[in-house]
Amino acid sequence: MSDWLIGIDEAGRGPVIGPLVVSALAIPATDRSSLVDLGVRDSKDLTVHARESIQESIRQLTRQRDWGIGTIVCEPARIDVNRLDSDLNRLEIELFAEAIRSAIDPDDGGMILADACDVDEARFARRLRAALGGEWAHWEIDARHGMDATDPVAGAASIIAKVTRDAAIAEHSARLGIDLGSGYPSDQRTRAALPDLLNGETPHDCLRWSWSTVSDLWQEMHSRPVPVRSRSGGAVAQSSLDDW
């Protein structure tokens, strides 16, 4: 049996507000039943209170049993800059690799249980292996759609990612004094908050400027294309057809 299991999942792939969060949880294979005893399952099937309670229990066990947690909070600026020459699937591969490296040293070996963020599960596994590099070559990788719903280690990782992202959105809401909702474009509270976040010289930093929800509303409000985030950390104004 593999010595270690690493479950890994993301939260916040599609929102227009806030970060994309990827979390990895590394546990000895013999501790898998402990997560089942906590009631771990897909974070989407749990109430907010249950997610927060289970997440705290996972963190307590991590401290007690020397488990490993790696969480990467990918802010909107990184998402926007990535889109200049790449796509979200490739960015998520980078983030998954970063989270895994943060969770555990590769020396022991084991199995990585990944919720595949790609329509092609095998391609996702190949890309993740390539991103991790040779020192992880002795680890098995099982990448499947809905892994968080079928495996408790991946499910635990999904809970950590979801709670972390929800906390980030709550922090933005408190700091701005605006109910940002969930951050998803389908959320009416989120859509109602967008005009306030787009009334400055540039969109607010908590927004994903490259999302069509932002660019379309910015064009409507300002009659010019949305600025583009640059790799240097600034913003570059796009030319409008009216300028020609």
CB 13 within 8 A of CB 162: no
Q: Is the pTM of this model over 0.85?
A: yes
186 occurs within a structural domain? yes
The Cβ-side half-sphere exposure at 198, using a 13 Å CA radius, reads 27
16 and 126: one domain?
Answer: yes
15 occurs within a structural domain? yes
33 occurs within a structural domain? yes
Question: How many degrees, rounded to 5, is the angle at CA 150 between CA 60 and CA 90?
Answer: 85
242 occurs within a structural domain? no
15 and 50: one domain?
Answer: yes
One digit per residue, pLDDT tens: the chain, 244 residues? 459 999 999 999 999 999 999 999 999 999 999 999 999 987 888 999 999 999 999 999 999 999 999 999 999 999 999 999 999 999 999 999 999 999 999 998 999 999 999 999 999 999 999 999 999 999 999 999 999 999 999 999 999 999 999 999 999 999 999 999 999 999 999 999 999 999 999 999 999 999 999 999 999 999 999 999 988 776 776 645 444 3
68 and 89: one domain?
Answer: yes
Q: If we measure between CA atoms, which residue out of 150, 2, 4 comes closest to residue 68?
A: 4
Whole-number Å distance between alpha carbons of 195 and 197: 5
Q: Which domain holds residue 187?
A: 178-236
Here the CATH number for the domain that contains residue 204 is: 1.10.10.460
CB 8 within 8 A of CB 101: no
